[in-house]
A and B are shown apart, each in its own frame.
Chain A
């Protein structure tokens, strides 16, 4: 979207208050959603809960194609449609809600750097494991991704997606990495996050920011998702501070809404939805 359109959208957005019927769209929870999409969706849900903005989670098999950017999740607020965490944070800010207003410029820059780290390392690693590791691809990713489509569309669309991700991996130089190298990257990323977190409850002391929601979305999903092997989960489990961090956010923002059908079954450590 152009800058002018961007500015226009945020101006319109500012004019209207957050409606009660805001909705977040994601793929079908039980049989379709993939680890990476679930992580991104959970990050946005956590962010909105931290902002104390109500949002209903709606599962649609065609959520990916409904999204203006082709990526899930996206939110439908009033007559606006915004996808992915970054633009959603901007959009919510235009409505007068922000988690990072209390930070100074240095802290903001640091927060952005860590968010980039999570997107570049954790998200890319999730995509790599889903689409480039043959065992995961055949056992989990392809059957789940193609579950809403009839034959032969299921093969065509899964192949298209696989090709797209593999091309992306080539472009960023991950195509030649081995699975072990990817796990090593995840491990380093977790170490870095754990060190930054230290003994604080959130990354920037007492108040959560969008970085906290992003880290929570990814780590929690990794911890609660059953893959073909447990190595990815073990990398996260090695860092005690991060597990505590996940428990804290779950406790503070999700547990009092356990009756909320959207997230209740997802968020009980250490058990979680099996991806098989």
Chain B
């Protein structure tokens, strides 16, 4: 315990620092979007608000204050857990963002799991089935990793919804509606993870400890399950934290194409309307999810690699 506590404290401090940086960068970045925020409060870019109304809103929301004062006011609110009120919807950002979080998390987690399964399957098969399998496997991985989400999503809709008519083109809220969005996110990631896994699997299969295991009478299956796959999964586990982040950003595209409610769409709408509190709210919640995921992959690495538990 004496060793665990300082490490945990350092982690926590690091997480707080990351959140602070995220809040800061987002705060200044949204200020770069052209237009008057008071306009956003009064019905968005198209509304015909009077100058008096705009001035009143500016004072009420503090837009007339210097930027640095607004920054610290925002930071102070964030520290108390208050994400503010949406300009456009005039509701609290906290509950709004939380209500959208579930759908996006489900999408991201399912895509991550599917990507892992696909990557494992291709990597194992292609290192086992001889030269042709190796070629096919590695080509599949390269192609998959290079697919852009928007193209893949459109193609899947064309094939499965319009062509075959087996799956809905827009989200229906049931499992059938999840299949295409999850596939869209999982396939490119699977290609990427698969490349890494196959590479480290090949290294592990050539290593002296595998030769030792074979010399003990270990079967080909045993060599893989007891030794090689464990080694092969290590780099892929470390990358999963990053992959999760990329899945969430992919969700912006996927949720829009499949008309799925979620954080991605909420974020897109908020940016268009210059709804700063919602933008910051979404970014903060994603940052928290990302940090938790990183901690989780860290724990998973330590579980698989006992060497990390030593020091």
Co-assembled chains A and B:
no
Binding site for B on A (CB under 8 A): none
